[in-house]
Structure 1
Amino acid sequence: MVSIENEGRLASTRGRETALACVRAGIDAARPDRVVAESVRLDEGRLRVGEAAYDLSDVDRIVVVGGGKAADGVATALENVLGDRIDAGAVVAPDPSEGDRIERLRGDHPVPSRAGVDGTDRIRELVTRADERTLVLTTITGGGSALLPAPVEGISLSDLQSTTDALLDAGAEIGDLNAVRKHLSTLKGGGLAELAAPACVVSLVFSDVVGNDLSVIASGPTAPDESTYADALDVLERYGVDPPAAVRERLEAGAAGDRPETPGPDDPVFDRVRNHVLADGFTAIDAAREVADGRGYDTCILSSSVRGEGREAALTHVAVAEEVGATGNPVEAPAVVLSGGEVTATVRGDGVGGPNADFALAAAIELPTGTTLACVDTDGRDGSSDYAGALVDADTVDDVGTARRALASSDAFGYLGGREAVISTGPTGTNVNDLRVLVVE
């Protein structure tokens, strides 16, 4: 079970206690050990994933590969389920443990590193050996884009790093960011499926993407890609990013038709590929709703797809809290309103902030009395901070001018930390996007 390290100080009211209980339940519901145990099993010579079944009588070898923030936990869970049926494997994760059958390799997030490149090289080595009697189990989880870099020929690691940094600082949404990265990598945009063909590829996916677009989660290593080089160039233009010369030259050459596009929906490399989404943002929201129901609150799921600037989306949640108190819509108080998705934060200064911190602080300035709001990233790290998010109420902000200046300089955690409003969990081992819990007493 996830631990909220500073829960004793945070849980000072009934609303705060409820919000934290909902957060804890939401993150726990998306942990790989729990999800895989519920979804994957061996049954009389078949591998069952949800309702699907794969006959292992035609399989000589099972190889496990993948990457992301939840990849280490998924690998451990698969070792528990499959045991010595696993012949080889390697996954790249930010905090790898020791595995019995699957190598655990270190990478970095959100900016790719040399360690990630080395780990990805090992994965490429394993999948290129696969043949038609190999089952390649891939663990595709949030964070995989940065943790599995594999730059194409002519693109250096520093090119990838600077391009990623610039897009993140510009507040690029994940789909836009990945449209660029897919055209600079050998694994992304269906590249892993292409390398593994003609093997049977079964992907176990933990989604950190609004709408569960398989081509966006970890930049879609086993999914068809409909984005183009021209799309990638458009992303750079829209966000005002001037990339290294090698990046621009490759994208322009691709847009001119001088380089092949990533494999699309009709490409035969996907004939033996199946993707299964085992957990997503709704997994966390639904578990949080059960906790709120059990505590006697009326509940409402506002949306599992909230996106855009965090400080702007926050005002909509404030408006919902005001409506609950004034009219009893969409639910009667005491109520818990839940949302998920992925908000962004455009960097405007050199403080310590993050999308959920921005969301929480912007809301705290406006929250009505009797309202509590918890905002977290389910991976335990909001933006580039060391915090999962924040817990605020109408009493958090005692100096509106100072709070607004903190928002303006991207220093929301700087303000919230001074008021003991940050939520600290450490790495949670999963990643299914943001979770927000709005409690109206």
Structure 2
Amino acid sequence: MQDKLRSDAFEIFRKALSAVEPSSCISNSVCRDDNTLIVGDRAYDLTSYENVFLVSFGKAAVAMASAMETILDEYISDGFAITKYGFGGTLKKLEVLEAGHPIPDDNSVAAGIMIRDMLERTGKNDLIVFLISGGGSALLTLPRKGISVSDIVGLTDGLICSGATIDELNTVRKHLSAVKGGGLAKMAYPSESVSLILSDVVGDPLDVIASGPTVPDSSTFEEFLEIITRYDLKLSSAVQGLLDDGLEGVLEETPKSSGPIFDRTYHYLVGTNSLALHEAERKASELGYNTLILTSSLIGEAKEVAKVFASIAREERLKGMPVPLPACILAGGETTVTMRGKGKGGRCQEMALSFGIEVNGLENVLLLPGATDGNDGTSDAAGAFADGSTFRDGKDIGMDARLMLLKNNSYSFFKETGDLLLTGPTGTNVMDIYILLIT
């Protein structure tokens, strides 16, 4: 593998991460002028509230909360930060709880209970600041009507393994948990609230990020049924009962836009995949590349999307299109993997392995797909480097790249070749970044 391309790709990825570092996102979006908190175009007189509560959840929860502690300081009355195992830390004023991701666990439910109990103490003259980042949907849950955490785990696992999109996954989650799909806003009412959101979802729809806990929900029990039918999933008796009650109108739908619940809520995006891509573009230009951002909304099966990048790489090598060489083609988004094997890896590593197979023997090309949170799938890698020598490198040490891809075992392949992207937990999460370099 070419050291120069690998080094450049890593520097570009690292620069992209710096643009969506949670404390920077908060400080660039929020400030305090004496007793006034300013968020976007809104101003909050902190002296007019009896209490100010801080609730942070997601993979970036601790970093976002730390930044807001600095800003709000003595005005914070109480609060919690809920994040993924290994992503925690110590905060000055907030209790930190680690929980399961991408599959919720008992700590996820404990977090939901703690937040509910705290919100039950709030009133009309209180301000609640919600800090929401990717992963929040699994990390914070409160099962509805007889649903157990094992019911949620089983169905979530089934959806993920079936290749369900994040939208589909969250539609189901919203109807299983009382805190999702506007549920937190309902609990917080009639307090005033402001949600600062770090987006990890294609297109940045507020009702999908962390399952939209503080915004109106447009999804329905009918859509829940359609998703379950589409993937031919078997439901536990408790989930089936909840779905039947929802379809019959016995169980209340998630909060919709009508009604007073959302009259005192405000939402502000503090960081997105697009922000990271533009910083990556600037870094690539500094390194001498002609750059092009394809999209920040890339979706699809990871191994198939890799073929698109391979086609672009061949076009660049042959014709210098769509931008002159040396070229850096950038994209962002979140692909999916349909599990057919029992290997280890994630969508970025699977994409890299598929790309390596497609460009076998092609010189001076490299693809780096990387998860901005530092964890691709259930592995400890953020992604992997792949180029025209990837297939041969595996073969030289007795590994068949095609067989490893078939078994969804990309992590083991790249671990042996030494091409994993290892960043550790980054403290942020704005989906994935894809960096294609051609010289």
TM-score (norm 2): 0.96
Residue matched to 2:258: 266
Higher alpha-carbon deviation: 409-418 or 171-180: 409-418
What SS is found at the alignment partner of 1:135? Answer: strand
Superposition pairs for residues 338-357 of structure 1, below 5 Å?
338-357=330-349
| 2:64 alignment partner AA | V
| 2:205 alignment partner AA | D
Residue matched to 1:22: 12
Superposition pairs for residues 9-408 of structure 1, below 5 Å?
13-94=3-84, 95-367=87-359, 368-398=362-392, 402-408=400-406
Paired with 1:324 and 1:430, the residues of 2 have a C-alpha distance of 32
| 2:374 alignment partner AA | G
What SS is found at the alignment partner of 2:109? Answer: helix
2:145/2:242 contact within 8 Å kept: no
Paired with 2:235 and 2:425, the residues of 1 have a C-alpha distance of 31
Higher alpha-carbon deviation: 174-183 or 414-423: 414-423
Alignment: residue pair count: 431
Paired with 1:201 and 1:292, the residues of 2 have a C-alpha distance of 39
| 1:41 alignment partner AA | C
Paired with 1:55 and 1:330, the residues of 2 have a C-alpha distance of 51
Paired with 1:434 and 1:267, the residues of 2 have a C-alpha distance of 36
Paired with 1:251 and 1:91, the residues of 2 have a C-alpha distance of 31
1:92/1:120 contact within 8 Å kept: no
Paired with 2:117 and 2:189, the residues of 1 have a C-alpha distance of 13
Deviations, residues 252-290 of structure 1 (Å, cap 9, x unaligned): 210121111101122320001111111111121111111
Paired with 1:343 and 1:365, the residues of 2 have a C-alpha distance of 18
Unaligned 5+ segments in structure 2 are: none
1:298/1:334 contact within 8 Å kept: yes
What SS is found at the alignment partner of 1:210? Answer: coil
Paired with 2:292 and 2:41, the residues of 1 have a C-alpha distance of 29
Unaligned 5+ segments in structure 1 are: 1-9
Residue matched to 1:425: 423
How far apart are 1:39 and its partner, in Å? 1.4
1:84/1:101 contact within 8 Å kept: no
How far apart are 1:333 and its partner, in Å? 0.8
2:313/2:438 contact within 8 Å kept: yes
Paired with 1:50 and 1:30, the residues of 2 have a C-alpha distance of 17
2:56/2:62 contact within 8 Å kept: no
How far apart are 1:223 and its partner, in Å? 0.9
- Runs of 4+ in structure 1 off by over 6 angstroms are none
Paired with 2:54 and 2:9, the residues of 1 have a C-alpha distance of 37
What SS is found at the alignment partner of 2:391? Answer: coil
Paired with 1:315 and 1:31, the residues of 2 have a C-alpha distance of 31
Paired with 1:204 and 1:91, the residues of 2 have a C-alpha distance of 14
How far apart are 1:329 and its partner, in Å? 2.2
What SS is found at the alignment partner of 2:130? Answer: strand
Deviations, residues 171-201 of structure 1 (Å, cap 9, x unaligned): 1111100100100111000000000001111
Matched, 1:410 2:408: yes
Paired with 2:249 and 2:108, the residues of 1 have a C-alpha distance of 30
1:374/1:389 contact within 8 Å kept: yes
What SS is found at the alignment partner of 1:99? Answer: coil
Paired with 1:439 and 1:243, the residues of 2 have a C-alpha distance of 45
What SS is found at the alignment partner of 1:15? Answer: helix
2:56/2:64 contact within 8 Å kept: no
Paired with 2:259 and 2:197, the residues of 1 have a C-alpha distance of 21
Paired with 1:240 and 1:341, the residues of 2 have a C-alpha distance of 26
